[in-house]
Chains A and B, each alone.
Chain A
Amino acid sequence: MAEEKKLFKVKIDNISVEVEPGTTILNAARQIGGDIVPPAMCYYSKLKGSGGKCRTCLVKVSKGSDADPRPMPKLVASCRTTVMDGMEVANITSPEVLEARKGVVEFLLLNHPLDCPVCDQAGECHLQDLSYEHGADSTRYEFKRRTFDRVDIGDKIQLHMTRCILCYRCVFTADQLTEKREHGVLGRGEAAEIGTYIQQSLDNNFIGNVIDVCPVGALTDKTFRFKNRVWFLKPVDAHRECSDPKCCGKVALWMRGDEVFRVTARKDKYGEVEEWICDTCRFDKKEVKDWVIEGPRKVERQSVISQGHYVGVHKPKDTLVEVLDGRQPKLLLDIHNISEVNKPTVDLSKINGPAHSDDFNKK
């Protein structure tokens, strides 16, 4: 009989879990799931050596292990700290952690423009989620923000350095997935930026994956940019026989009607790519006939995308009526009756200027 592997017992926010030695605190928390999973902006389980940089996953180790129960003196990056047997960790139950994380969010937002309304990553942005969950409602920073000139790095990928949070994920991706290392971090400190080697373009058959790993809107798909908002699209699982042996050929198609707007790799509930795809699948196969459609994709993240989610839609009970003991609500103004704009026969262009309340009053 194979020798049984000893598992380590860990307690995160008072919830116990047993994990294999070598597991990080973050991954132990992911095994439990739910709210106690620390956020991760730079760690990416599929990229070797990633993590440790953004400091959003800081946690408090209140007990080191059974052997050495002393607490760790400082907060640690849960994505890079492995568990010990008997370790006790506080994430959302530690005010110190939440305070530190609020600090990290504030730091990240100093130089990240909050242009979500026009950013192509809106709806899929991890920083947006992070600041919603852990940030403050205003910043105390009153100085000029760091901005960058736009650099052309190829015909398929747009680099918008102003939005980059220097998580290094795209660097690891380019390093580990593509044949040649084409880009990296130039400059240091606040002046650090993602750049290509002497302004080369990124053209490698796997480089498109940098778009998927980017947690913010710094790297976007030029074939999709501004064509649609993600929450208006239906994600659909699809696959094709891809001739590139490194490509899994399994993708998510983002469709509206029969039109394929965007092709991405499939992501898990932590927003991480499940299997990598090649640039041909991503950028060149934009017809339904290129793909074998498997069915609608389950959107797991609590993101705005799920707002447009259509699987298993059922009409909610008319709660207001229920609350009012069966009485119908009294409408003060039924716009559908008053406004002609809602009548299909009305030609909107015939109404002068922008619609004004007076227009509706004319009746």
Chain B
Amino acid sequence: MGRKLLFDKAHIEGIRYYDVYRANGGYGSAEKALKSMSPEQVLDEVKKSGLRGRGGAGFPTGMKWSFIAKPEGVPRYLVCNADESEPGTFKDRYLMEFIPHLLIEGLLISSYTLGCNSCYIYIRGEYAWIPDILEEAIADAKKNGWLGKNIQGTGFDLEIYVQRGAGAYICGEETALIESLEGKRGNPRIKPPFPAVKGLWDCPTVVNNVETLATVVPILRIGGEEYAKYGTGKSTGTKLISACGNINKPGVYEIEMNISVEEFIYSDEYCGGIPNGKRLKACIPGGSSVPILPANLLLKTAKGEPRMMTYESLSDGGFATGTMLGSGGFIVLDEDQCIVKNTLTFARFYHHESCGQCSPCREGTGWMKRVLLNIENGKGKMSDIDLLWDIQRKIEGNTICPLGDAAAWPVAAAIRHFRDEFEWHVLHPEEATKRNYGLAHYADPLEIAAPAAV
């Protein structure tokens, strides 16, 4: 059994409620931090832990926290990113739903460390029932003196507010999230300035993922050094992985970052293998935006070593032979899955979710989607494959925020590793048309809605 730090008490009946959480050692880390440690000491523990942000980019959390500007008389804010809209990623949802106090305790410790007196949880609109769970937990924590004024007599004040998003993927991007929180259109800001200097209401702000903030609790419980002994190399600790696709046991797993991808897919403790004895074709290990890897590159790195569930191992060799751990949305595809259809599905998503601020993403995502739709429906040309490659190349790296990259990478990787499947669609239009994957009736909304007037 892998060691667990976040879900270690998840099985306890009623852990969602304050009394049970507290009776099982809950708020112990907060007590330790607030009563016996200075903010600098907490920061030091987080740095020692080697914790990397769990929202996707994997930036070291301790370093991110140390960047926060501290001008006199200006409030600082902590924002918890609970927008979780990356297709394939659904780990934060379980954490908030089943152990909400773990997040609240994490927010308390983190706010204390950063010197924030207000903290916001920005939660995805579609998680309609979770804000109520969080509000209830916040009220209970407050009743028991863990929030509000003069927390546990330490002189530290903190309020946590829950803000529901309207359901836009782009609002998970930290600066778009801040805009949305300010009541504006969720358009990413142009950086610099970074949120650490000018964030929410132009004040220094840290935006962290739910899992990142919750992880601060076990780090303080066992100490940064001990935490760093979990996992391996530059990937310390444990990570929540939401596994889905063609596996026997979809779900959210807490893994210690020292297991191999093969073990994760095939062992009974985790995904339990692929249904009906089918073969593994490919996997998107970090949420829909990360490059897809074919089976031969997925289980072994370019050097022939076993591929591990770590930041370094998954990205080994760059995008030519590797991918990213991303947010941990692990999507497995068996031999029956169509890569073109899969790529089209994601392309539709990114096209729909582009905020429309910058030209390459606004125009390019729709173009890629339409070309893919043609290929998938047996109306593609050979030159369309090169065209797709060229479009993604002109989007990647040229946009304001990484949504443009997120739209480009899956297309690039699919063509790089599965070009023959694209060619098959072009060469066998009739067979391609016959395979009804439920998309046959999907028409481009633009085709339907285009009004006559020019």
Residues of A within 8 A of B399 (CB): 55
**A363 contacts chain B at the CB level, 8 A cutoff:** no
Residues of A within 8 A of B451 (CB): 147-149
With contacts A77-B190, A189-B354, A190-B351 known, is A55 near B359, CB below 8 A? yes
Determine whether B74 belongs to the interface, using a CB cutoff of 8 Å to chain A: no
CA–CA, A110 to B363, complex, Å? 7
Contact of B356 among A55, A77, A144, A166 (CB under 8 A): A166
What separation, in Å, do the CA atoms of A52 and B364 have in the docked complex?
17
Segment at the interface with A among B222-230, B246-254, B365-373: B365-373
Contact assessment for B354 and A107 in the assembled complex, using a CB-CB cutoff below 8 Å? no
Answer whether A144 and B450 are a contact pair too, CB < 8 Å, given A58-B398, A185-B185: yes
Q: Which of A39-58 contact B (CB under 8 A)?
A: 51-56, 58
Say whether A53 contacts B357, CB under 8 Å: yes
Contacting residue for B363 out of A75, A107, A148, A188, CB 8 A? A107
Interface set, chain A 165-207, CB cutoff 8 A to B: 165-166, 168, 184-185, 187-192
Output the nearest chain A residue to B449 by Cβ-Cβ distance: A191
Q: B453 touching A150 by the CB < 8 A rule?
A: yes
Q: Mark B382-425, 1 if CB is under 8 A from A, else 0.
A: 00000100000010011110000000000000000000000000
Cα-based distance from A100 to B351 in the complex (angstroms): 20
Contacts of B446 in A (CB 8 A): 143-144, 146, 190
Query: Cβ of A189 and Cβ of B351 under 8 Å apart?
Result: yes
Determine the chain B residues whose CB is within 8 A of the CB of A51 once the complex forms: 190
**B403, chain A: closest CB distance, angstroms:** 10
Is B454's CB within 8 Å of the partner chain A?
yes
Distance between Cα atoms of A84 and B353 in the complex (Å): 35
Q: Does A330 contact B (CB under 8 A)?
A: no
With A100-B394, A103-B394, A146-B446 already in contact, the answer to whether A113 and B359 are too (CB < 8 A) is no
The reply to whether B367 and A110 contact each other, CB–CB distance below 8 Å, is yes
Q: CB within 8 A of A190: which of B190, B366, B400, B454?
A: B366
Most A-side CB within 10 Å, residue of B168, B352, B360: B360
- For B366, the chain A residues whose CB sits under 8 A away are 110, 189-190
A105-121 interface (Cβ within 8 A of B): 106-108, 110-111, 113
Q: Is B124 an interface residue (CB 8 A)?
A: no
Query: A79-109 interface mask toward B, CB cutoff 8 Å, 1 = contact, 0 = none?
Result: 0100000000000000000001001101110
Residue of A nearest to B352 (CB): A189
A296→B450 CA distance, assembly (Å): 45
Give chain B nearest CB distance to A189 CB in angstroms.
4
Bound: A110/B395 CA distance, A: 14
Cβ-based interface call for A360 (8 A): no
Interface of A: prevailing SS? loop
- Give the complex CA separation of A100 and B359 in angstroms: 12
Tell me the bound Cα distance from A55 to B359 in angstroms.
7
Provide the bound-state CA to CA distance between A147 and B355, in Å.
Answer: 18
Contact check: which of B359, B370, B394 meets A54 at CB < 8 Å? Answer: B359
* Residue of B351, B363, B370, B454 ringed by the most chain A CB atoms within 10 A: B363
The reply to whether the CB of A141 lies closer than 8 angstroms to some CB of chain B is: yes
Query: Can you name the residue of chain B whose Cβ is closest to the Cβ of A168?
Result: B357
B355: A residues at CB distance < 8 A: 188-189, 192
- Which chain A positions have C-beta within 8 A of B170? 188
Whose C-beta in chain A lies nearest to the C-beta of B356?
Answer: A192
A57 to chain B, nearest CB (A): 11
Q: Which residues of B contact A146 (CB under 8 A)?
A: 446, 450
Chain B residues positioned under 8 Å from A113 (CB to CB): 454
Residue in contact with A53 in the complex, picked from B168, B397, B400, B447, CB distance below 8 Å: B400
| B362 touches A (CB below 8 Å) | yes
Q: Counting CB contacts under 8 A, is A74 at the interface? A: yes
Complex contacts, B364 vs chain A, CB 8 Å: 107
CB-defined contacts of A168 to chain B, threshold 8 Å = 357
Distance A168 CA – B358 CA, assembled complex (angstroms): 10
A144-163 residues with Cβ-Cβ distance < 8 A to B are: 144, 146-150, 162
A147–B400 alpha-carbon span in the complex (Å): 25
> Does the CB pair B398–A104 fall under 8 Å?
yes
A2 to chain B, nearest CB (A): 27
B354 touches A104 (CB 8 A): no
Q: Mark B178-196, 1 if CB is under 8 A from A, else 0.
A: 0000000100001000000
Say whether A188 contacts B360, CB under 8 Å: no
Closest to B386 in A: A140
Residues 334-363 (chain B) with a chain A CB within 8 angstroms: 351-360, 362-363
By the criterion CB–CB under 8 Å, are A189 and B362 in contact? yes
Bound CA span A145–B434, Å:
28
| B356 A191 Cβ-Cβ under 8 A | yes
28 pairs, A vs B, C-beta closer than 8 Å: A53-B359, A55-B358, A55-B359, A55-B398, A75-B397, A75-B398, A103-B360, A104-B360, A106-B394, A107-B360, A140-B387, A141-B367, A143-B370, A143-B446, A144-B444, A144-B450, A146-B450, A147-B453, A148-B453, A162-B454, A184-B185, A188-B170, A189-B366, A190-B354, A190-B366, A190-B446, A191-B356, A192-B356
CB within 8 Å of A: which residues of B?
Answer: 168, 170, 185, 190, 351-360, 362-367, 370, 387, 394, 397-400, 444, 446-447, 450-451, 453-454
The 4 closest A-B pairs by CB, nearest first: A103-B394, A192-B356, A52-B190, A189-B354
